[in-house]
A = this chain, B = another copy of it.
Amino acid sequence: MELGMIGLGKMGGNMAERLRLAGHKVVGFDFSADAVKKLNDAGSVGVSSLEDLVKNLQAPRAIWIMVPAGDPVDETIAKLKPFMQKGDIFIDGGNSNYKDSQRRHEALKQEGFGFVDVGTSGGIWGITEGYSMMIGGDEDVVERLRPIFETLAPAADQGWGRVGPAGAGHFVKMVHNGIEYGMMQAYAEGFSIMKAKTPLALDLTQISEIWRYGSVVRSWLLDLTADALKKNPTLDGLEAFVPDSGEGRWTVFEAIDLNVSAPVITESLIRRLRSREDNNFTDRMLSTMRNEFGGHAVKKS
């Protein structure tokens, strides 16, 4: 079928190509002329304006928006709307907050548009391995997009599904990322403990490779970790600095709002915050307290 794709970066660009290879017509837009050219070169239709994108698609249209969460999504929808008509579908495949998706669905539905939120996982590997997609929205609207999902997924009947009403897709993706934080932190702590056990001189690369087969902790993340360690066994040159892109903190907020105790997901987020605290004030407070009550020496910077 036909699909508009807005945002041709690591995710959108790869998805467009996976769709094209399966015979879909993709019309893509990006602010980067290079990205548009690359799409054209690959055999899809790259355009340089949202108006052109809409014009190159036949109604009822489906447009996949793959831009940063927040205002860019609202702005993209606002700019597209004047060119679109009732029955057209907006798909938000990015990492939007599910509350925004609920709001957008409500507003767009009242204007006669469809809106589907797709939590998309798979990263840069999705182009070959397929994407896991958690989808929220009205059943009939989701159903109309079935050919797209069947192509983007690892297999037509695997790795995707409508998980609930509007917002449910991004909610489930949010939790997915929260779990991801916890798993990553668990692996990273384990490898740190092994690295610190210097008398045993453990080879982290070897161990990650052993664990990939038959162990209880085998996973795709472990596969990637093994790859990373092969390339840089000591992780030299990397800074101990870990960004977070929002879903983790939303998961923590949501857990608290729901009165669900989720200590490990929460602590995984907190450790990322900690990685970005220079000259940690909390620790300096502790240091000065110890000095006050016990006369313990402080370390001066």
Contact = CB atoms under 8 A, between A and B. Distances in A.
A219 B292 CA distance: 14
Contacts of A218: 132, 219-220
Chain A's interface: helix, strand, loop or mixed, by majority?
helix
Assembly stoichiometry (copies): 4
B164 A178 contact: no
A265 B63 CA distance: 43
Interface residues of A, number: 133
A137 interface: no
Interface in A217-249: 217-222, 224-225, 227-228, 232, 235, 237-243, 245, 249
Given A212-B159, A238-B300, A301-B237, A269 B292 contact: no
Interface of A: 10, 121-126, 129-134, 153-155, 158-161, 163-165, 167-168, 171-172, 175-197, 200-203, 206-207, 209-222, 224-225, 227-228, 232, 235, 237-243, 245, 249, 251-256, 258-277, 279-296, 298-301
Given A185-B282, A264-B271, 12 more contacts: A129-B214, A133-B210, A163-B200, A182-B185, A188-B283, A218-B220, A228-B289, A240-B279, A242-B286, A260-B277, A260-B282, A261-B277
